[in-house]
Amino acid sequence: MGRVQVNNKEEFSQMENDDFSDSQLVRHFRGVLVAVTTGDRENYDELVGYLHPKKNLNPDEVAILVTTLKALSGAVSYIDSVHHESLLFAVSRMSLWNYGIDIMDALLELIISLAASNGKYIDWCLEMLVKHFVPPFYLLDSLRQENGIDRKNKVLSRVHAALKEIADLVPLAPLRLSPIVIQKMPSVFSKETEIVMYVENMLRLESGAIGETVGSIMLPALVDRLLELDVEIGWDGILQEDAKGIFEMELEDVTEFADEDENCDSMPPSELLNRKNLQGNLVVEKLDSLMVLAFLHLESCQSSGRLTEVFDTLLASFQRTVLNAYKSKFTQYVMFYACALDPEGCGVKFAMVLADMFGCDVNPPITRMSAAAYLASYLTRAKFLSAALVTNIIQSLVDWCYAYCKLRDFDMNPRAHQVFYSGCQAIMYILCFRMRSLMDIPRLKLQLLNMPMEAILKHKLSPLKVCLPTVVVEFLRQAKAAQLFMASESFVFDDMLESDLSKAFGGIDRLDMFFPFDPCLLKKSESYIRPHFVRWSKVRTTYDDDDNDELSDSGSEVSDDDFIDRYTKDMIDDDMMVSVEGFDFNPDLNKMSITPRKSFKHGFETQLNQCKRMPARIRPSTSPESL
């Protein structure tokens, strides 16, 4: 390579004012870079000085900076990470967000040329580009303005184009890019604007030209960050024995919040209370915004025909992290929404995978129990699933539980047979929501009647004694009305919302009370979920009276007190058959609420159509909603 000797500062300065060809400038800068290795730094230091960030550049300074960057792009093979460390540092401090398009383009040309010149600079160049996913802190707020949006589009379109060009020049670059993007991802404590903007760029990478390489990394990373935010939401107080605090609110607090939400009419009081509790929570707001980004990305994938591919990636991530994260309250709705966008494909596949995970003996008990909880909650809440699919999965659960009973002649033991009890509770919980709709279809009704559910419920393992009493009671009431079993004597149960036996089978994570697809309390996200979601208040039960319930299409002559099968006496302990005098008890899922029994002021029930109750210790998004 030829070298241009530069002997003094005056000659370097002369380069600014005289007309030189591009090749002459490149030769000059090569000489300056080589001179450093011999100890001559005068011109090099002046060159570095041009690159240090300055504010409010005049047109001449802009022209000099553009010329310098372009000339350096032609001399990148002479740049040495040891001798020219100060040069690389000065370039790394430059931000596209602070310059016009001429300097932007010149700087990106330098970065691309450096990446292609030597493999040791790949990571440095990729980090330089990823740094621009988010503007400097002092510019974040300006992005809401019109000129800020325009600047954002100019910067990010160039950044992603540069990443694509580097990937074309260096085929292994995308493999190096993924860990850098994950490493630089803002923490859960970052500002909402910062983390949302960064995730926007991650999803842009996933759906962009190099998405085939990096997509399998971006989506799981997003799910992991959603989960981190999810478990940061401080609802531990609700899990305490007394469950005080946010539930001890005046009626005016509830109605004031209800007035702010146009969808409040369809929400139970406890859900409104929990939403109010989340207002102002910065972690919740970040999670809500990121969830909406994920939903919009899924819609985009559906439009481009990529949803099935993306769903497979999400499903693997769900199985690896979300499934066993019992504190997850909202992250799982990414899966729910993906299924809603493609019911016959993703929707069916998700149900079948959960059913297979429950039935697979190789999986740990905690995984199988979580799969049962997810399966039951999904089948009850997903409006888009067919009745035939629901019936077939109930059939598979019943068959598994029946086979389990036939091979085990043991007495009741909640801890030893946790998976069995989780399967039984899943069957009953699904039927609490779906029994009426399934019994209205003759062939599905016949299929239900032919299932050996009665044999399972009467087995020595006594699932009716162990499963969550609220679920058991509602199931038996509907089973009586639907004549799923033969009805005879009437029994009355204490207002039991949970029992020591259900606690035992649920384990330390209380999986007996884990209903992962309960109503979403994130305001923006819920608007996407709502059209595809089944609320208990809209469910037609087998005992509904057409005259009193406009949602029912058939009536029932079953009274509130006469709902237990004649075989129930053999399945339920005497200690559950107590008088309810003075308790105003109505044993159905309308009692399900996260609200403790005496947490509201006198008169609250009357003004809100007698708000019903649910175990106080159930975490808000993992318990049946209140009605």
Q: Where are the domains of the chain?
A: 9-187, 229-622
Greatest pairwise CA separation for the chain in angstroms: 109
Number of Cβ within 10 Å of residue 250's Cβ equals: 11
> Phi/psi of residue 591, each to 5°?
-80, -10
Higher pLDDT, 210 or 245: 210
What distances in angstroms separate CA 64 from CA 47, 103, 437, one per listed residue? 10, 10, 75
How far is it, in rounded angstroms, from Cα 193 to Cα 140?
Answer: 7
- CA end-to-end span of the chain: 81
How far is it, in rounded angstroms, from Cα 593 to Cα 603?
Answer: 17
Q: pLDDT for 12-31, tens place per residue?
A: 455 555 566 778 889 989 99
How is the chain split among helix, strand and coil, in percent rounded to 5?
65, 0, 35
Mean of per-residue pLDDT scores for the chain: 77
For residues 442-458, one letter each, b for 16 or more C-beta atoms within 10 angstroms of the residue's C-beta and e for the rest, the string is eebbebbeebebeebbb
> Phi/psi of residue 153, each to 5°?
-65, -40
Please answer whether residues 207 and 304 qualify as being in contact, where contact means their C-beta atoms are separated by less than 8 angstroms: yes
How far is it, in rounded angstroms, from Cα 76 to Cα 91?
Answer: 13
* Gyration radius from the chain CA atoms: 32
Half-sphere exposure of 414 (CA within 13 A, CB side): 19
| pLDDT score recorded for residue 545 | 74
Please give the model's pTM, rounded to 2 decimal places.
0.78
How far is it, in rounded angstroms, from Cα 332 to Cα 156?
Answer: 30
CB within 8 A of 241, min separation 6: which ones?
617
Residue with tokens 């609320």: 535
| pLDDT score recorded for residue 19 | 62
How far is it, in rounded angstroms, from Cα 450 to Cα 399?
Answer: 11
How far is it, in rounded angstroms, from Cα 612 to Cα 454?
Answer: 30
588: left (phi over 0), alpha (psi -120 to 50) or beta: beta
SS (H, E, C) 430-492: HHHHHHHHHHCCHHHHHHHHCCCHHHHHCCCCCHHHHCCHHHHHHHHHHHHHCCCCCECCCCC
CB within 8 A of 392, min separation 6: which ones?
none
Here the tokens at position 65 are: 């900076």
Q: pLDDT for 33-42, tens place per residue?
A: 999 988 889 8
For range 617-621, the mean pLDDT:
35
Residue with tokens 């960057």: 69
Q: How confident is the model at residue 123 (pLDDT cuts 50, 70, 90)?
A: very high
How far is it, in rounded angstroms, from Cα 389 to Cα 423?
Answer: 17
pLDDT at residue 552 greater than cutoff 70? no
How far is it, in rounded angstroms, from Cα 18 to Cα 95?
Answer: 29
Q: Give the rounded percent of residues in the chain with a pLDDT score beyond 90.
A: 50
Question: Among the listed ranges 123-137, 214-228, 452-466, 504-518, which one has the minimum average pLDDT value?
Answer: 504-518
How far is it, in rounded angstroms, from Cα 372 to Cα 62?
Answer: 64
Q: pLDDT for 350-382, tens place per residue?
A: 999 999 999 999 999 999 999 999 999 999 999
| pLDDT score recorded for residue 294 | 97
CB within 8 A of 373, min separation 6: which ones?
422, 426, 511, 514, 515, 516
Please answer whether residues 328 and 516 qualify as being in contact, where contact means their C-beta atoms are separated by less than 8 angstroms: yes
| pLDDT score recorded for residue 561 | 37
For residues 93-124, one letter each, b for 16 or more C-beta atoms within 10 angstroms of the residue's C-beta and e for the rest, the string is ebbbbbbeeebbbbbbbbbbbbbbbeeebbeb
| pLDDT score recorded for residue 279 | 58
Residue with tokens 């089944």: 534
Strand-pairing partners, residue 382, are 533
How far is it, in rounded angstroms, from Cα 404 to Cα 571?
Answer: 18
> Phi/psi of residue 63, each to 5°?
-60, -40
Please answer whether residues 522 and 291 qualify as being in contact, where contact means their C-beta atoms are separated by less than 8 angstroms: yes
Q: How confident is the model at residue 604 (pLDDT cuts 50, 70, 90)?
A: very low
268: left (phi over 0), alpha (psi -120 to 50) or beta: beta
How far is it, in rounded angstroms, from Cα 545 to Cα 555?
Answer: 4
Q: pLDDT for 521-541, tens place per residue?
A: 898 999 999 999 999 888 999
Positions of E strands within 139-193: none
